[in-house]
Amino acid sequence: MKKNLDEILIKEILQKGTEMTAPKDLSSRIIARWQLEEECIPFYIPVLPRLTWWILAFFFAGLFIWGFSKMSFSGVNTEVAILMEQIIENLEYSIVSNEGVVFPTIAVLVIMVLINAFLLKFRILQRWVLG
Amino acid sequence: MDDELIEGILRKDKKMILVFIQSYQHRVYSQAYRMLGNTQDAEEACQDAFIKALNKIDGFKGGSKLSTWVYRIGYTTCLDVLKKRKLKPKMLNIDDSMLTSWASLHDSLHTLESKEQRSIIDNAVQELEETDALLIDLYHLQEISIAEISEITGLNKSAIKVRLLRARKKLAIHLEKRLPLETIKKLKK
């Protein structure tokens, strides 16, 4: 009984505080922002960052393989070492020895990062404009 | 009603989206204000929460009410903002012997002008820890059940009850601290 009375009193006290209501134009601003994100940059949110990560992953994988290929296995006289050397030789031939792969990869990576940065800036701008 | 709203949002029907936002915006905003303590952050969090809700509506499985789902998104969005702020929790020692009854607090506040009352109550609520302020708001003002609060916040029911008990005591202390001296003297008599 006492608890119920306290609860009634607490509610009465809290009701005397400022009533929190959302600004009148909040719903229209949310819709405007949502529409802009839907229409202008649908490609940005799911695809671009992922693509950048994939390119980064491939780039570093290539770098790793290239570095690995420079290591010497001559001291390790096992079948595994021979097999590793064969694999690396093949990879080196197909990926690293071809310089035409490395530079375009870096170029694409830089472009992707720039596009991401631009779109991120655009999102921030869009927030400033729409509030 | 929930199904209609969801279908409308999935169809990207602007009217239904407006109805959806307008149905829940005041509570999400109030929740955000209680947790973040200022109108600018509350508005921003409210916008972010609704954008997330609109984008993730196809993932709503109907395990709870749509309102609870939306409030939960609002709550987690505010938690993200608070994480970025990295504020230290507000500490307050609770001495039960010092506590004034709610009836006395209620009567004392009643003697003040409404503007002064509002200021004292708002400041006292703001002094509470973010989650405590939210729990007080949801349970005492919005009269949401403990079970639903549990779904919104992810806290278990007994933890909510304990936190509410402590939050009420802290609120009483903060209110008493803010009452004018003469009123306090009358209270102690």
Residues of A within 8 A of B168 (CB-CB) are: 6, 10
pLDDT at B117 over 60: yes
Residues of chain B within CATH 1.10.1740.10 domain(s) are 2-85
pLDDT tens sequence across B62-71: 778 888 999 9
Average pLDDT over every residue of A102-115: 71
Average pLDDT over every residue of B24-46: 90
pLDDT at A131 over 50: no
Cα separation, B24 vs B9, whole angstroms = 14
Residues of B within 8 A of A34 (CB-CB) are: 17, 50-51, 54-55
Pure H helices in chain B: 2-10, 14-36, 39-56, 66-85, 102-110, 114-127, 130-136, 146-153, 157-178, 181-188
pLDDT tens sequence across B133-151: 999 989 988 888 999 999 9
Architecture of domain B2-85: Orthogonal Bundle (1.10)
> Could you give the ipTM of this predicted complex?
0.76
Q: Do A16 and B18 touch (CB under 8 A)?
A: no
Average pLDDT over every residue of B109-127: 85
pLDDT of residue A77: 57
Average pLDDT over every residue of B94-115: 75
Domain contains A25:
no
pLDDT of residue B106: 82
Of the residues A26, A29, A39, A124, the best mutation for testing chain B's interface (the one with the most B CB atoms within 10 Å of its CB) is A26
Tokens of B39: 């109108």
pLDDT at A88 over 90: no
Residues of chain B within CATH 1.10.10.10 domain(s) are 96-188
Q: How confident is the model at residue B51 (pLDDT cuts 50, 70, 90)?
A: very high
A97 DSSP assignment? S
Name the nearest CA neighbour of A22 among B146, B44, B111.
B44
The domain defined by B96-188 carries CATH number 1.10.10.10: yes
Cα separation, B187 vs B124, whole angstroms = 18
For tokens 């239904």, the residue is B16
Cα separation, A28 vs B129, whole angstroms = 31
Residues of B within 8 A of A126 (CB-CB) are: none
Residues of A within 8 A of B43 (CB-CB) are: 22-23, 26, 131
pLDDT of residue B142: 85
Q: How confident is the model at residue B96 (pLDDT cuts 50, 70, 90)?
A: low
pLDDT of residue A107: 73
Residue of chain A whose alpha carbon sits nearest to that of B118? A17
A64: containing domain: 47-131
Domain contains A35:
no
Angle at alpha carbon of residue B150, lines to B144 and B151, rounded to 5°: 95
Mean pLDDT (chain B, rounded): 85
Do residues B147 and B112 lie in contact, with contact meaning Cβ atoms separated by under 8 Å? no
Domain contains A32:
no
pLDDT of residue A75: 57
Cβ contacts of B160 within 8 Å, gap of 6 or more:
B135, B139, B146, B149, B150, B153
pLDDT of residue A1: 43
Q: Å from A104 to nearest chain B CA?
A: 35
Residue of chain A whose alpha carbon sits nearest to that of B40? A131
pLDDT at A115 over 60: yes
Average pLDDT over every residue of B98-123: 81
Tell me whether residue A122 is exposed, middle or buried, using C-beta atoms within 10 angstroms of its C-beta: 0 to 12, 13 to 18, 19 or more.
middle
Q: Do A38 and B12 touch (CB under 8 A)?
A: yes
Cα separation, B135 vs B118, whole angstroms = 19
A76 DSSP assignment? -
B106 at the A interface (CB within 8 A)?
yes
pLDDT tens sequence across A2-45: 557 888 888 888 888 877 788 888 888 898 888 877 766 544 54
pLDDT at B75 over 90: yes
pLDDT at B128 over 50: yes
B72 at the A interface (CB within 8 A)?
no
pLDDT of residue A117: 66
pLDDT of residue B162: 92
Domain count, chain A: 1
Domain contains A6:
no
pLDDT at A112 over 80: no
